[in-house]
Amino acid sequence: MISILHIDDHSIVRAGIKSLLKDHFEVGDFDEAENETEAAAKIKKTKYDLILLDINLPNTDFSGLLQWILRVTPLSKTLVLTMHKEEVYGMRCINMGASGFLQKTAQKTEILNAVRTVLDNKKYISTKLSEIILENKTSKTVQNPFSCLSDRELEIANLLYSGKSLPEVCKILNIQYTTGNTYKRRIFEKLNVQTLISLSKLMQAYNIAGEQAD
């Protein structure tokens, strides 16, 4: 029997994944969390075999949460399951220590294959992500301007896109306002935009933000 924690703020997504995995695996505990606080409380109480983690969670420092999970429960396999695009987020998550990366729009067979792969102590990289990695190695040009952003810069860009003010972003990420403002300036310079509206339009054009805040 395996124990699973699914961290996602959309109940319909959690319900669908729960049904799918229970139909194909011997699942004991299947716990759910909508946000970082709920997830941390459950992880402190239970050692999970598999943790499914979304990137877009309310008021959450995603990279900080992922690193915390890897530190406090290193034997758990963490599979990032999100709407975000693989070419920008896939290898970032793998490099940060995730066991795999998969889009929520993947076919059921691929989701099951990803879960089996990570539970078998292997990294899961989809065919699409493998192709992207190969293309990046053979191409001398950067196809997506967001690839030039650091992990923190990309996270801040997403929070700004979701409607958070810079002070709110700094509070979520636990950084000084001056530091946050420096990150914001670097983001604008790298992407060659001057306003938040321009940033949002560019993110929409490249379909970077997986889910916009309600």
Residue 28 CB neighbour total at 10 angstroms: 10
> What SS3 state is found at 5?
strand
Give the closest residue to 38 by CA, choosing from 13, 18, 19, 57.
57
Percent of the chain residues topping a pLDDT of 70: 93
Q: Is 2-135 assigned to CATH 3.40.50.2300?
A: yes
| pTM (predicted TM-score) | 0.78
Res. 137: pLDDT tops 70: no
* Mean pLDDT of the region 75-97: 90
* Mean pLDDT of the region 167-180: 95
Question: Strand order in 2-7's β-sheet?
Answer: 27-33, 2-7, 50-53, 77-82, 100-103
Give the Cα separation of 178 and 60 in Å (integer): 20
Return mean pLDDT, the chain: 90
Res. 79: pLDDT tops 90: yes
Better pLDDT: 102 or 207: 102
Residue 185 CB neighbour total at 10 angstroms: 10
What is the pLDDT confidence band of residue 212, given thresholds at 50, 70 and 90?
A: very low
Top mean pLDDT of 15-29, 88-102, 141-155 is at 15-29
Give the Cα separation of 204 and 161 in Å (integer): 9
Residue 5, C-beta contacts closer than 8 angstroms, at least 6 positions apart: 31, 32, 33, 39, 42, 43, 46, 48, 50, 51, 52
Q: Which tens digits make up the pLDDT trace of 4-33?
A: 999 999 999 999 999 999 999 999 999 999
Give the Cα separation of 199 and 172 in Å (integer): 20
Question: What is the structure's pLDDT at 141?
Answer: 57
Res. 47: pLDDT tops 70: yes
> φ, ψ for residue 138 (rounded to 5)?
-95, -15
Res. 107: pLDDT tops 70: yes
Task: Count H helices and E strands in the chain, helices first.
Answer: 10, 5
Could you write out the DSSP letters of every residue in 28-42? Answer: EEEEEESSHHHHHHH
Sign of the CA dihedral running 145, 211, 132, 61: positive
> φ, ψ for residue 193 (rounded to 5)?
-120, 160
Res. 197: pLDDT tops 60: yes
Res. 214: pLDDT tops 70: no
CA atoms within 13 A on the CB side of 68: 14
Domain locations in the chain as residue ranges: 2-135, 145-205
* Mean pLDDT of the region 68-89: 92
We find that the CATH architecture of domain 145-205 is Orthogonal Bundle (1.10)
Question: What is the structure's pLDDT at 213?
Answer: 42
